[in-house]
């Protein structure tokens, strides 16, 4: 595949426009200098539509587009459970988690852990999250993004890494979260347009020009096995999607961790004008999640019919992009780069927030001024990106599946994180010692499962380890006397009431998800 002159022009104009808009929205009024709230939380001024769009832009990247299309090629529609169950998870977070976070007025997840437990939990978890974001998340998104660009344009991987890093830093570092969140609106519009275009052209190709619905009907008739949402144990991909576990098992733990306690996701909701605005943004994001399988899974299923002999499933999406005519290919390619860049921008902003707020201000220089912290945040963001570019190839170049790399290593910590937060929210007796024990037990137990029970489904492992972490925390707390902790959350002081519009929107999501599963059970 190669880009024509008009495609390259469209792509370059998009890059220039995005950087220009980011710098324009980041400008300050005369006499005002950015403080930490401006830089890290967009001045707590984000409206619902920016929050919802930014949540999706931070989430959807190369590993989703390329990886989930590949899973659609190999497994089928079942992989859409990650998206549709996430829509319900978002509603739970909006209803029960956000009111607590916003009541506390926090900047970061580690900061909340100190307010609920103690400084040891904050520092240890801050270091963990920094390591995870730089060594796993940021590096993986960069590497997968460079691979995607290489597959589409033939650009050398090193140049692809440098371009993505420079582009992401160029539009996100100066303005902070405000620049990221407001440009994410453009990114999401482009992502949806490009994704729907690829899906339409692939389905129309199957129907030989008779339209997308005709192509979808042909796929349903010719490949019914690709539309099983709940896989049977006899299915060769059962280990990836272990049957009913996608509804009642470890997928809930993974989603709660990612959407509820993940700094580069939750930072958008912490920057909302109000709780009601944040909840509307979350509801908007939930509906966008319902749409995502049309963009990231259907092209993979279509590729299984059109090009069944691909060497690797991850080639499915680039193969379907070949159907896009010249003139529109540049826009579609820009949509893919937009998804990658928005995730990278979100990650470096959160890395700089955690380092600056939780380590530098808390441990290294408590007297740091607002100006110092903003500039340090920018420097840390650039350094994090440089480190990720340097280690991407040595770390992931020989790894067979980068998406599997992300899942495996984040899955070591996910059960402990969810245990720490849920017990911290809703059990007044949970202690700092039990929280630390849960964090370390999560890593040790996950590693033991990974080493000695490699055939045990990853999703089931996460669920079992979570239950064990909760049990360990409860036992240690009770052995320590089982007393209410002085920093426990006073739930009676938290207003969990939601507006009628949020309730109605939530009901709509539940009905749609139920209908989808009933249709393709």
Q: What is the pLDDT along the chain (521 residues), one digit of tens a residue?
A: 567 888 888 888 888 888 888 778 777 665 556 677 777 777 788 899 989 998 988 888 777 788 788 889 988 999 999 899 999 999 999 999 999 999 888 889 999 999 999 999 999 999 989 988 898 888 888 888 888 888 778 888 899 999 999 988 887 777 777 777 777 888 888 888 888 999 999 999 999 988 999 999 999 999 998 998 888 888 888 888 888 888 888 899 999 999 999 888 888 888 888 999 999 999 999 999 999 999 989 999 999 999 988 888 878 888 898 898 887 888 888 888 888 888 888 888 889 999 999 999 888 998 888 888 888 988 999 999 999 999 888 877 665 555 556 667 778 889 999 999 999 999 999 999 999 999 999 999 999 998 899 888 888 999 999 999 999 999 999 998 889 999 999 998 898 989 899 999 999 999 999 999 999 88
Would you say residue 18 lies in a domain?
no
Q: How many CB atoms lie within 10 A of CB 208?
A: 9
What three-state secondary structure class fits 46? strand
Quote the tokens at residue 192.
């949806």
pTM for this model (two decimals): 0.90
Q: How many CB atoms lie within 10 A of CB 214?
A: 14
Give per-residue pLDDT as tens, 322-355. 898 887 888 888 888 888 888 888 888 889 999 9
Would you say residue 12 lies in a domain?
no
Instruction: Output the CA–CA distances (angstroms, integers) from residue 192 to 56, 316, 341, 452, in the order listed.
Output: 11, 18, 15, 42
The pLDDT, as a whole number, for residue 405 is 60
The pLDDT, as a whole number, for residue 332 is 82
Distant-in-sequence, close-in-space partners of 367: CB < 8 Å, separation ≥ 6: none
Would you say residue 7 lies in a domain?
no
Give per-residue pLDDT as tens, 286-301. 999 999 999 989 999 9
Distant-in-sequence, close-in-space partners of 387: CB < 8 Å, separation ≥ 6: 134
Return d(Cα 312, Cα 234) in angstroms, integer: 23
CB of 494 closer than 8 Å to CB of 100: yes
Tokens 């022009």 correspond to what residue?
9
Return d(Cα 469, Cα 384) in angstroms, integer: 31
Would you say residue 16 lies in a domain?
no
Distant-in-sequence, close-in-space partners of 371: CB < 8 Å, separation ≥ 6: 33
The pLDDT, as a whole number, for residue 259 is 93
Return d(Cα 54, Cα 60) in angstroms, integer: 10
The pLDDT, as a whole number, for residue 32 is 56
Would you say residue 13 lies in a domain?
no
Q: What is the CATH number of the domain that holds 442?
A: 1.20.1730.10
Would you say residue 28 lies in a domain?
no
Would you say residue 252 lies in a domain?
yes
The pLDDT, as a whole number, for residue 402 is 54
The pLDDT, as a whole number, for residue 30 is 59
The pLDDT, as a whole number, for residue 17 is 85
The pLDDT, as a whole number, for residue 96 is 94
Distant-in-sequence, close-in-space partners of 127: CB < 8 Å, separation ≥ 6: 359
The pLDDT, as a whole number, for residue 148 is 81
What three-state secondary structure class fits 272? strand
Return d(Cα 151, Cα 155) in angstroms, integer: 8
DSSP annotation of 325 = P
State the residue range of the domain holding 491.
38-519
Number of folded domains that form the chain = 1
Would you say residue 24 lies in a domain?
no
């Amino acid at each position: 595949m190669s880009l024509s002159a008009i495609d390259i022009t469209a792509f370059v104009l998009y890059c220039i426009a995005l950087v220009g808009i980011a710098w324009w929205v980041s400008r300050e009024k005369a006499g005002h200098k950015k403080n930490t709230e401006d830089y890290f939380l967009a001045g707590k001024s984000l409206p619902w539509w920016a929050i919802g769009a930014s949540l999706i832009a931070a989430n959807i990247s190369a590993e989703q587009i390329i990886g989930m299309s590949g899973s659609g090629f190999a497994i089928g529609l079942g992989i859409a459970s990650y998206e549709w169950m996430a829509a319900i998870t978002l509603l739970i977070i909006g209803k029960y988690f956000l009111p607590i976070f916003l009541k506390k007025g926090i900047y970061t997840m580690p900061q909340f852990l100190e307010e609920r437990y103690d400084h040891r939990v904050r520092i240890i978890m801050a270091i963990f999250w920094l390591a995870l974001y730089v060594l796993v998340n940021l590096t993986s998104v960069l590497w997968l993004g460079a691979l995607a660009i290489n597959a589409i344009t033939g650009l050398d991987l090193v140049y692809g890494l440098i371009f993505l890093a420079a582009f992401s830093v160029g539009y996100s570092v100066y303005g902070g979260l405000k620049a990221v969140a407001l440009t994410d609106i453009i990114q999401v519009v482009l992502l949806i347009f490009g994704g729907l275009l690829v899906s339409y052209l692939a389905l129309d190709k199957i129907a030989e020009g008779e339209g997308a619905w005709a192509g979808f009907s042909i796929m349903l008739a010719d490949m019914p096995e690709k539309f099983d949402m709940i896989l049977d144990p006899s299915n060769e991909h059962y280990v990836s999607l272990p049957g009913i576990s996608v509804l009642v098992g470890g997928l809930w733990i993974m989603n709660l961790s990612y959407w509820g306690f993940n700094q580069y996701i939750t930072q958008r909701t912490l920057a909302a004008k109000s709780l009601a605005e944040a909840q509307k943004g979350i509801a908007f994001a939930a509906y966008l999640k319902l749409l995502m399988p049309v963009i990231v899974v259907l092209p993979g299923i279509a590729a299984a019919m059109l090009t069944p002999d691909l060497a690797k499933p991850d080639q499915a999406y680039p193969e379907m992009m070949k159907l896009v005519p010249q003139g529109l290919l540049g826009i579609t390619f820009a949509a893919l780069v937009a998804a990658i860049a928005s995730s990278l921008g979100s990650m470096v902003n959160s890395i700089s927030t955690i380092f600056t707020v939780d380590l530098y201000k808390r441990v290294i220089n408590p007297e740091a001024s607002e100006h110092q912290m903003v500039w340090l945040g920018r420097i840390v963001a650039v350094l994090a990106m440089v480190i990720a570019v340097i280690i991407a190839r040595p770390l992931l170049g020989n790894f067979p599946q980068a998406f599997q790399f992300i899942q495996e290593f984040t899955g070591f910590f996910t059960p402990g994180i969810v245990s720490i937060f849920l017990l911290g929210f809703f059990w007044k007796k949970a202690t700092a010692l039990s929280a630390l024990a849960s964090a370390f037990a999560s890593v040790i137990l996950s590693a033991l499962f990974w080493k000695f029970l490699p055939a045990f489904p990853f999703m089931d492992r996460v669920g079992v380890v979570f239950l064990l972490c909760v049990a360990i925390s409860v036992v240690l707390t009770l052995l320590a006397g089982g007393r209410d902790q002085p920093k426990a959350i006073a739930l009676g002081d938290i207003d969990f009431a939601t507006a009628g519009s949020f309730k109605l929107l939530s009901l709509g999501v539940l009905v749609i998800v139920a209908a989808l599963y009933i249709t393709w059970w």
